Amino acid sequence: MDVTRDRAWATLTHYTKSESLLRHALAVEASVRWYARDLGEDEEAWGCAALLHDFDYEIHPTLDEHPQDGAPILREEGYPDWLIETVLSHADHLELPRDTQLKKTLFACDELSGFVHACGLVRPTGLDGLEPKSVRKKLKQPSFAAGVHRDEVYQGAELLELDLDEHIANVVAALQPISRELGLRTAADAA
């Protein structure tokens, strides 16, 4: 099969109805696409893997099922091995090697996209003017977006061999264009 964005979106929305999960998928997709562009990689392909990484979370909400029990569904739908392996590799508990740039990028964008999104939601201007410094400060407040695994955020930047501030700035830039879809305000709303 050809892995297209339309196809991936159809699979995602077949299994996922929750708005917050769909927003998470869109946020991670946008971040991974940002890096694909930056690295001259196949943006559509990378974006599809990102879009689908948590596609089964709603039907498999625990780690004894997610994402491993989603893999056979993707296989049945005809998705290629590289995409399925990438999806599986985002889960720490499976301890699979992150041996491609896409796997590294997906892992690095998963938790941080959620965290940056959360930072934007509490600001009147959303992501506009959000500095890496203030994201870093919030990372040190355990009560803020408590579900985000901080260690995975730091590990992600290391995996990409990027300074954390640079990685944060990239993710902010990636999410800004889809602020509306993510339910975020912008500077234009605050004016």
Residues 76 and 46: their CA atoms lie apart, in Å, by 20
| Stretch of 32-40, 49-57, 78-86, 136-144 lying at the interface with Fe ion (CB under 5 A) | 49-57
Q: What is the CB neighbour count within 10 angstroms for residue 19?
A: 9
Which backbone phi and psi does 118 adopt, to 5 degrees? Answer: -60, -40
By beta-carbon proximity to Fe ion, the closer residue of 22 and 128 is 22
By beta-carbon proximity to Fe ion, the closer residue of 29 and 110 is 110
Interaction pattern, residues 101-120, with Fe ion; x per rule: CB under 5 A:
---------x----------
The two structure tokens encoding residue 89: 């590799």
Closest contact distance (angstroms) between CB of 150 and Fe ion is 15
Could you tell me if 119 and 101 are in contact, meaning their C-beta atoms sit under 8 angstroms apart? no
Number of residues that bind Fe ion (CB under 5 A): 2
Closest contact distance (angstroms) between CB of 28 and Fe ion is 6
Q: Which parts of the chain fold into alpha helices (H)?
A: 5-15, 19-39, 43-52, 71-76, 81-89, 101-121, 132-139, 150-159, 164-175, 187-190
**CA dihedral defined by 142, 54, 18, 175, rounded to 10 degrees?**
70
Amino acid of residue 147: G
Asked if 29 interacts with Fe ion (CB under 5 A), we say no
Closest contact distance (angstroms) between CB of 125 and Fe ion is 26
Contact with Fe ion (CB under 5 A) among 29, 36, 54, 116: 54
User: Interface residues for Fe ion in 64-103 (CB under 5 A)?
Assistant: none
| Stretch of 33-41, 52-60, 133-141, 168-176 lying at the interface with Fe ion (CB under 5 A) | 52-60
Could you tell me if 108 and 157 are in contact, meaning their C-beta atoms sit under 8 angstroms apart? yes
By beta-carbon proximity to Fe ion, the closer residue of 54 and 128 is 54
Chain contacts with Fe ion (rule: CB under 5 A): 54, 110
